[in-house]
Amino acid sequence: MQSRPPAARTGRPRSAAADAAILAATRQALVELGWSRLTLGDVATRAGVAKTTLYRRWPGKCELVVDAVAELFDELRLPDRGCLAADIEGVVLQFAAILGRPEARSGLMAVVAESTRDDALRERIRASIVDRQKRLVLEGRARAQERGELPAEPDPAETARTADLIFDMVAGAVVHRTLVSGEPADEQWVRGFTRVLLLGLTARPAR
């Protein structure tokens, strides 16, 4: 007995323009209303789409906010400042600036809190934000290796483990500094953080 081919998908194709409008409206609502007052109905009105359009794309408020915030972090770019330390400082300053935006700050803090009791949401945060931004670490290491600032790593598994560790150190420090401690991640702090990251705790500060 021959198996049947999979059924063709029905319904209207997903509109990239509608997705962009919805995510932009979500960020606007986060700025104006904050997490607690944001509703999917309000987002649909702001985006000029039917509620059913929004519900077909996102199962709930948390998933919608994750994707809206993820787009902000997709703006991160690794600058080419001529050396590894300066490149790190440049991207960390960008990261801190994004976390300083009210839509990123309120949205990220809220979904991280919700994810403590929702494994699927935690995985969505990891896939949409964390894993996508690890590209910056890999790009920075490759560039530094081309410059001769870092040795090549022949083991891909070790490269991946090191990238995970570097990302965790950078993201953890900047998130704690800006969102938990509420202190500025300004150029002076970023310079000191980068020195410790690259040289370790035994490094003497530059005179």
6 located within any domain: no
Co-location of 98 and 37 in the same domain: no
Reported as a single tens digit per residue, the pLDDT across 153-182 is: 888 888 889 999 999 999 999 999 999 999
Whole-structure pTM value: 0.84
Co-location of 83 and 105 in the same domain: yes
Residue 204 is predicted with a pLDDT of: 59
Q: In the numeric block, which tokens belong to residue 86?
A: 């300066």
- CA 103 from centre of chain: 13
Co-location of 26 and 109 in the same domain: no
Backbone φ, ψ for residue 118 (5° rounding): -145, 100
Co-location of 188 and 107 in the same domain: yes
Co-location of 81 and 51 in the same domain: no
Q: What CATH number should be reported for the domain holding residue 26?
A: 1.10.10.60
Domain count across the chain: 2
46 located within any domain: yes
Residue 18 has pLDDT above 70, yes or no: yes
Co-location of 48 and 138 in the same domain: no
Q: What CATH number should be reported for the domain holding residue 82?
A: 1.10.357.10
Reported as a single tens digit per residue, the pLDDT across 37-64 is: 999 999 999 999 999 999 999 999 999 9
Co-location of 126 and 183 in the same domain: yes
Co-location of 93 and 182 in the same domain: yes
Co-location of 80 and 127 in the same domain: yes
Using the 8-state DSSP alphabet, how is residue 126 labeled? I
Which residue range forms the structural domain that includes residue 38? 16-58
> How far, in Å, are 8, 48, 71, 72, 94 from residue 24 at the CA level?
31, 11, 9, 10, 20
d(CA 16, CA 169): 34
